Structure 1
Amino acid sequence: MNQKTICIHGCKEKKDLTGSVSVPIYQSATFAHPAVGKSTGYDYSRQQNPTREHLECTVAALEGGSHAVAFTSGMAAITALMELFQPGDHIIASEDLYGGSIRLFEQINKKNGLRFSYADTSDATKIEALITKDTKAVFIETPSNPTMIVTDIKAVSELTKPRGILLIVDNTFLTPYFQKPLQLGADIIVHSGTKYLCGHNDTLAGFLVTEDQKLGEKLRHLLMSLGSCLSPFDSWLLIRGIKTLAIRMEKQQENAIAIAHWLKTHPKVKKVYYAGLSEHPSYEISSTQASGFGSMISFTVDSEATAVQVLEKVELILYAESLGGVETLITYPMLQTHADLTKEERDARGINETLLRLSVGLEFAEDLISDLKQALD
């Protein structure tokens, strides 16, 4: 079935018998047993809820997986994911990575005995050089946050699979509509469902997706044990948001391409990071492993003063954290998404005083360009 149809109709299994077109919100913490030793299939909503189950089934179908588990946020999903590992285990991660993930790895997981190494994962040889007998996983974002580094998922899987190392891919930026990491050799997919899957900046959610039966059972056990399950109402918001995922991703990408090309022409813009530009170093890989380039753009300007000016002068575009919603947002990574990194760590990643990140929304592209122009001039 085509992804556009899956987005609209979701999971094939219907729990409602009334014919309701909208998936019902089963706002119940617990479910009655029909008899001793018998169950309706639902006992307690921390374990499973019909509304959340419909959402998880939909996300699994979109990703081509057999299991999807929905959490209260993207960070809750990654926190649970790290519980797959034991003290002493080694994980290799993209060096250009969402700051919240780095904070979790460095401030929480390290004290619990996990070890991390970071690499430019666009170069598979740099990953291979870091692999040890204790390496249990490679964790990548592609495109990365915020400098849009693209990693060849298939090339990395060719390193990890023969060694029994898990390949984990954060697919938040492109979503399953544009990129399917499981088909390229990934073992687990991470999503901040808050972003494009929801698409309306009105709730938090996270997902872990796999096609491996045993991994899926482990992830479900972790969700039940840790308790960070997505609520029925938030699950319904995600179901509703996913219905327009395809059309949103297409239009937001169309806007992003127009804006990226315009930014290249402005004298105060020094560099544009967008995987859909032919001069992007991994444009060919993106074209091969994904069906689209998404709508995330980062760009550097000529000075810190110009960056601050843009943030304070934009009118239509909102200066706010997060991404993936219908509204265009602009972010200052050094003060927001990556504020917990040291200046040296940020500088090494190119996250400096002149870098801005743009999440392109659904507004009329010319209106967005006009807003950027007046803010830059």
Structure 2
Amino acid sequence: MTYGFETLAIHAGQDPEARTGSVVPPIYQTSTYAQDGVGQPREGYEYSRSGNPTRDALQEVLRALEGGRRGLAFASGLAAEDTLLRTVCQPGDHVVIPDDAYGGTFRLFAKVAERWGLTWTAASIHHLDTMRNAIRPGQTKVIWVETPSNPLLGVNDIAATAALAHDAGALLVVDNTFASPYLQQPLGLGADVVVHSTTKYLGGHSDVVGGALIVSDDELGERLAYHQNAMGSVNGPFDAWLTMRGIRTLGVRMDRHCDNAERVVDYLRHHKAVSEVLYPGLPTHPGHETAAKQMKRFGGMVSFRAAGGEEAAVRICESTELFILAESLGGVESLIEHPGRMTHASAAGSPLEVPADLVRLSVGIETGDDLLADLERALG
């Protein structure tokens, strides 16, 4: 039987526990498992780096929500990214990355993977020709996109980019963190791998760090699972349990995030202290038509540029009360940050440097009127 998204979020991989009937999957807080005989692990579990029932439950719901063949959970989003790169690439290979990627992703490519022998080119995800020109025939193994991107809210045409990548013999990897699987499912549009920082909307409560990979190919899933175990960057059972707890309410939370974000955008675009609002839901956004085609709604992330420049942007970030000055995003509480000095500081001086007057909002699920009043105080 085919189930809807909200039903899968609550039930996929989360049947009542067999022995006691516990409705919520237990936390298997163990490092090792008794074996029935030498080399005869019970139910396939022998050591929790290699397999844990709580993590397996999380991996199944991640697979189901993204419509993939296999889901894999990690200790962080960057741990997932690193495992992916070391599975599908080798020294001498080339990757195309967005020219407005998350600062941590840029740091992984430029400061870690580059020393390992991986090369990369930053290209605009808005233009297929730009990405096509960045491809090195025979050398490019991955095209990596974020859509919407962090922090400039750029939008990529996933289906068109998938065709481009496959024509070049490369994989398309889509970081779906900003959208969440509730708003967008890249595998169904032709992507090969979906990446998540499950810390964000999937966990949803700013109380757990994690990452995930979901793939559309069984063989690639097996290879990634081997490296997940061999490299050891798995999340613990309590972290897996917390993430599942968050996933159960993902649909209703995302609807409220979107409702509030739309109100914030409408307010900001009329304010004299704001020179530009970046949000895929605006008809003036260059990726609006693409976002409308491949997303259910436009998300809870909003960026804007302060009319008074960098110092005005910093002052705004330090003046809110309900919007907490903090990194990360996707929690129930609203957050505000200055990307140039915070999440994207590692990209300073690179092709991925963000505008100094940029402010990023993660719009939470508080009462919308209260959020608008808080912005009014900070911008006034």
Structure 1 length normalisation: TM-score? Answer: 0.97
**Shift in Å, 1:162:** 3.0
**Shift in Å, 1:373:** 0.5
Aligned residue number for residue 366 of structure 2: 363
User: 1:58 is aligned with what amino acid?
Assistant: V
Structure 2 length normalisation: TM-score? Answer: 0.96
Aligned residue number for residue 23 of structure 1: 25
CA distance in 1, matches of 2:244, 2:272: 43
Q: 2:7 aligns with which of 5, 11, 19?
A: 5
Aligned residue number for residue 326 of structure 1: 332
Q: Which runs of 5+ in 1 are unaligned?
A: none
Aligned residue number for residue 70 of structure 1: 73
Query: Which of structure 1's runs of 4+ aligned residues deviate more than 3 A?
Result: 12-16, 343-346
User: 2:125 is aligned with what amino acid?
Assistant: T
CA distance in 2, matches of 1:86, 1:60: 26
Aligned residue number for residue 56 of structure 1: 59
Deviates more, 1:48-57 or 1:28-37: 28-37
Other structure's SS at 1:288 match: helix
Aligned residue number for residue 224 of structure 2: 219
Other structure's SS at 2:110 match: helix
Q: Which runs of 5+ in 2 are unaligned?
A: none
Q: 1:306 aligns with which of 312, 315, 333?
A: 312
Aligned residue number for residue 254 of structure 1: 259
Is this contact kept in 1: 2:268–2:274, CA < 8 A?
yes
1:119 and 2:123 are equivalent in the alignment = yes
Is this contact kept in 1: 2:142–2:171, CA < 8 A?
yes
Q: Cα RMSD between the aligned structures?
A: 1.2
1:88 and 2:95 are equivalent in the alignment = no
**Shift in Å, 1:292:** 1.4
Is this contact kept in 1: 2:157–2:290, CA < 8 A?
yes
CA distance in 2, matches of 1:169, 1:180: 10
Tell me the percent identity.
Answer: 44
1:183-233 Cα shifts (integer Å, max 9, x gaps): 001001100000000000001000011020111011111110111111000
CA distance in 1, matches of 2:337, 2:18: 41
Deviates more, 1:54-63 or 1:124-133: 124-133
User: 2:110 is aligned with what amino acid?
Assistant: E
Q: 1:189 aligns with which of 187, 190, 194?
A: 194
CA distance in 1, matches of 2:244, 2:378: 36
**Shift in Å, 1:363:** 0.4
CA distance in 1, matches of 2:317, 2:155: 27
Aligned residue number for residue 283 of structure 1: 288
Cα distance, 1:307–1:230 mapped onto 2, change above 3 Å: same
Cα distance, 1:134–1:344 mapped onto 2, change above 3 Å: closer
